[in-house]
Structure 1
């Protein structure tokens, strides 16, 4: 079929996605104003811009998207973002992101992710605070590809920015209450009260929820796993003087006290048994095989996460430029009592504990003047320290040792950056940026009781690395744009936090990515359809890799080199005034060019957590009643192709492809004073593994699965 027009091309695309030509005709032929796609304003380049003007592959989820899809934590945003995966080995507050196949095997509490997590532009260094709770959020921006110029180090994969709602200087508020499966209940909302009219306002938001465990523990003395227990509060004080000064002070506290996600543990020895001859998938009380929503453990994996702090964002209009300052202080505590063997025996129990403190300061100038040049220049400082205290119960039931590991790690980072654009013609713009970062890290006071006394020596690293990007974009009329760019990113050195002897306290070198990307952004039919896409190629070197040899030998090393090539396509369409949908599709082709673990050459294998295909689709249909109320019907689906969780690509560490489907039906009153909804999550009851780890000493595979199918109802009152 020859495609001669945009209309025919759109017909082909929607037909491919399962749409009807009749619906397409409605989009193509209806040119009256009234239901075009609203402009999406983002801050991916540290200034307010239209998403369609930004040369970055980016998914944006606004508050309606989050509400309709019932996305309640950062771990769930992958359901609506192609080429973004999340694996879990603890709870929803401790996600491990993989973006475009760039991930990490490391799960130590002093580790860092190649995907930078930000809340209101504040970098979150503690991994267990990286699954931000979703409440009173304006939008979430998922930026794919190295973001080393404006977001800094440790964004080799990309960045995720959670942006909370600011005060609007008016009385405003809402409260949502609900209940659902497994005695789930939640209460969340926000309220704003102006203190000085149009000058000073306070907004308080909160989120609380609890449920029984979704994974049934067959041990009569144990408790069910995979429950929900969370609460968070955020107070935002907003100030503006009407003369170019705006400031927002956010103070927060978050707490989560669930039991661990129920694990599917398998023995790796013949017959599915572990090192003491027990099959973890057999019910020890009945002899029957355990289902995926059942376990039998002597521990419930109690988890405690506490985070608190504040950050101040201030903007001052200087005329020629805007001065922005972002200052933050965050502290947190984490504990997790892990049953690593997954049986009623005390074969391997791990007590993880950490205390974390971090401060940061970002100060920058952004040009305001008209002309063919724009620029941003800034300075950045970050410092964090973490105190680790871990206890290893190794074969304690059989007289094995109990080892206590502790140390302190401090990281300091300084950076200077410059980013800008030059408009050569009305349609052609060059852009680029450079950032220089100096990173220092120190691990001290290492000891393992009772076998290794406190060490006086310190393990250090000192890195200095430029990162940046350079590109060109060309506009074709007002509704389409093509960009091509090269970006370079790096993740700073890391120290092996899982060491149990001084010789294992080693430093992995920085990992680096050279990224080439071509993107296309467009809007058609009076902006009723948006089509964005990008193709990319990565040369990935010195990937930091955690290699578990046994309980007494954990290695943090660099994994040679790899290449990744991929594609993303995202589409949003308003088919009619009452019907809209969006879809995304991702492709990945990844390969380790050079990798050797335990003397085995793994070159040619696919990267971990890099499924070849991923896709998402969501749709909304609205029916207006006679009294001008609205029924809103929503459905979304997310597809993840098969993926490997270990570089050996062996079957026991492979997750099969799966679908996750959700739906929501809501009624909204004509006055918008209240809304009631029914929803279902994981309607396919998907139980495919979302995280896998190996424990060599006990010969156990530790795998986690999603929350099972569940339903709920909630009511929102606006005031």
Structure 2
């Protein structure tokens, strides 16, 4: 700690001294290009502005709600990125919520089942839990509504005003579960001026996309509305050698309807209803066999595969765009809505947000049209379903912005319910490399069903005081109470029983299956979160800050799979309680403008003391059995730095870059964990670098934009044990980079019409987005998409 603050003071003073000599300029954007909100304009001129390309120049001033009130982004003492709605419309690589991390330092959010479930990580904080009840420490918000369930967090990006990504613990202002940061996706709200568009696109792998949005006045000065629609369809890019079909995509549709009611001169009511449905295939996995050793300290290296399952042979490595597997289906349907009421008074503003969200989903072997894989029966099939809903209410009151003392206080309440079913059936015994049948180490058929309820209530307050015209201090506090109730039942066939049952039995208990285990548990967690910030304005173009923030996740439950023990009985360890993980965060940052508005430069350094870290680790559960459990495993240290820059060196040339440097290590482990001490946190590469370059060419009629963007990631690990990170290449991804280019033509001076051609991953880089721990000698990998093309046209009217 002493060493950290020693270096921090030097950097902090250096930035402050340099900033004090910069010539005055107005506030600036983040390093990501954005389009700022604009005052109301006549309808014809507004159409022209809406259709213009992003003009990420140094003269922009970006307005954000990072502190639950509208402020200039450069005046907010929080490390943040802002991505404009215009960019999400035009950028072919921005399809769903998790894609925005390509523009954020020290962040990742790969999807690992289908396009609906990102695994969010910020500055090393995230989760690799595969359970449906997973609670992510990065808070995800749609229009300030907290979205708890992981299957609701992959919503498509369409018709947005902008996106705000806040790094570091945000628990006092952004509610529960924001240890790693908070991301707020803000829809384009209804207004009394017309702002419509239509978009069509087509690209590689039979990928098509359609978008449409229309809005405007319904009753002058009283009622405005807006509707938006999105459809994205693709065949996927990996060919299944089993049935010669392509896998990994499907049809993704979404819609949003909004009404803005001006109830009076000081009361606004915003109503929002939204829908999303994805119907396609699970992301396919390539399988790599390791027959030589016991990978990562557990598993049976001799039990490799069933002949014909996953790989045609034990030694053949499939081409990058080929898989060999059963094609499981993936279905998720989300619905939700909210009512936001804002009452403005001279001394304060009162805001109420009442919201509901839910989903129904299914995944796996429920498709009766799938033929068997080996002989007359497949090797195994898995099936899961879920039904989830949440209801939230937030009530907050805030003072006026421009006064010496500012304050905010509020109440938050949330109810959640989840029903989940997971079933697995093995139809053939596994065999070793010599073709000899092996005994089952898990039941041939197993069904785990659980029901979970959450009740959360919290109260929060935040205040800021301008000690002088340049020096401001602020602090926040949040108290939360959460009750969790869970009930689960486990049904299985005995290990000595039959290894086969009809495919349809995945949704029904087969003959011989019995209730092996049932349990109900309840716990209550009470948490305090706090933050404290000192902010110093050097002059109108430079600001420095120090921020301390604590974060504390509520507890939860995880599950331990059944395993074979002497006498063919089952392990008694089933339901695992997860205790709250905590973070103490220390951050120094500066936000500056240079060279008469030609360069924006923001930087920060940070340290996290991370306790009760949640992680998937090999854990001994007795009788010589080791299994992978998502659980509290120890403590960790996280340190890092970030730099964001935006430059306009010459007219019409715009450059931007985000650099993240991250150092993470587990500093302790408990006695039941296996080898995480000294290991790097998963999905936390030492270096992340992303940026863009864009040049605008003015034509006699219209304009042309040439642009490129890139991402670079240093080596990263998918599993937390030291042995896997030092000796196992299957569980890591070496450094790689991605380069994308695009050309946009505006044939008309009004720039209402545009055509764009994009090439994504132009170098055709091959990389893993996830590798799953080897089981029975097989490691399964999910691969990144190779080079692709996309052509789109857009018209604003």
Normalised by the length of structure 2, the TM-score is 0.82
Q: 1:77 to 1:708 in 2, by over 3 A?
A: same
Pairing 1:467-486 to 2, within 5 Å after superposition = 467-486=529-548
Matched residues, number: 690
CA distance in 1, matches of 2:186, 2:789: 28
CA distance in 1, matches of 2:425, 2:131: 17
Cα deviation per residue 1:328-377 (whole Å; 9 max; x = unaligned)?
111101222179xxx95544432121111001011100101743100110
CA contact (8 A) 1:266 1:281 kept: no
Give the deviation of 1:393 after TM superposition.
Answer: 1.9
Q: Which residue of 1 aligns with 2:168?
A: 145
Cα deviation per residue 1:643-696 (whole Å; 9 max; x = unaligned)?
111112243211111111111111122123311111111222222111122253
Pairing 1:288-687 to 2, within 5 Å after superposition = 288-297=316-325, 299-337=326-364, 344=373, 346-368=378-400, 370-394=402-426, 396=428, 401-449=444-492, 453=515, 457-497=519-559, 499-500=561-562, 503-547=573-617, 553-595=627-669, 600-627=674-701, 629-648=702-721, 649=725, 650-668=728-746, 669-687=748-766
Give the deviation of 1:632 after TM superposition.
Answer: 1.3
Q: Which residue of 1 aligns with 2:247?
A: 225
SS in 2 for 1:224: strand
Structure 1 stretch 390-399 or stretch 587-596: which is displaced more?
390-399
Match of 2:149 among 126, 140, 146: 126
CA contact (8 A) 1:495 1:556 kept: no
Larger radius of gyration: 2
Determine whether 1:691 maps to 2:714. no
CA distance in 2, matches of 1:120, 1:78: 18
Q: 1:703 to 1:187 in 2, by over 3 A?
A: same
SS in 2 for 1:542: strand
Give the deviation of 1:448 after TM superposition.
Answer: 2.6
Q: Which residue of 1 aligns with 2:286?
A: 264
Give the deviation of 1:617 after TM superposition.
Answer: 0.8
CA distance in 1, matches of 2:524, 2:379: 39
Cα deviation per residue 1:292-313 (whole Å; 9 max; x = unaligned)?
211111x112110110011111
Give the deviation of 1:557 after TM superposition.
Answer: 2.1
CA distance in 1, matches of 2:341, 2:202: 39
Give the deviation of 1:75 after TM superposition.
Answer: 2.0
Q: Which residue of 1 aligns with 2:139?
A: 116
CA distance in 1, matches of 2:310, 2:579: 43
Give the deviation of 1:553 after TM superposition.
Answer: 4.9
CA distance in 2, matches of 1:638, 1:370: 39
CA contact (8 A) 2:226 2:259 kept: yes
Give the deviation of 1:57 after TM superposition.
Answer: 0.6
Q: 1:452 to 1:536 in 2, by over 3 A?
A: farther
Q: Which residue of 1 aligns with 2:52?
A: none
Give the deviation of 1:144 after TM superposition.
Answer: 0.6
Give the deviation of 1:39 after TM superposition.
Answer: 0.6
SS in 2 for 1:66: helix
Structure 1 stretch 132-141 or stretch 552-561: which is displaced more?
552-561
Q: 1:126 to 1:35 in 2, by over 3 A?
A: closer
Structure 2, unmatched stretches of 5+, are 1-13, 24-30, 32-54, 296-300, 367-371, 431-439, 494-512, 563-570
Give the deviation of 1:67 after TM superposition.
Answer: 3.5
CA distance in 2, matches of 1:286, 1:111: 35
Match of 1:252 among 240, 251, 274: 274
Give the deviation of 1:5 after TM superposition.
Answer: 7.4
CA contact (8 A) 2:287 2:310 kept: no
Q: 1:283 to 1:370 in 2, by over 3 A?
A: closer
Cα deviation per residue 1:5-52 (whole Å; 9 max; x = unaligned)?
789999xxxxxx9xxxxxxxxxxxxxxx99533111111100001111
CA distance in 1, matches of 2:526, 2:150: 23
SS in 1 for 2:74: helix
CA contact (8 A) 1:444 1:455 kept: no
CA distance in 1, matches of 2:109, 2:302: 28
CA contact (8 A) 2:253 2:278 kept: yes
SS in 2 for 1:52: helix
CA contact (8 A) 1:624 1:630 kept: yes
SS in 2 for 1:560: strand
Structure 1, unmatched stretches of 5+, are 11-16, 18-32
Structure 1 stretch 168-177 or stretch 205-214: which is displaced more?
168-177
Cα deviation per residue 1:85-137 (whole Å; 9 max; x = unaligned)?
12332122111011101122211111111111111111111101111210001
Q: 1:631 to 1:566 in 2, by over 3 A?
A: same
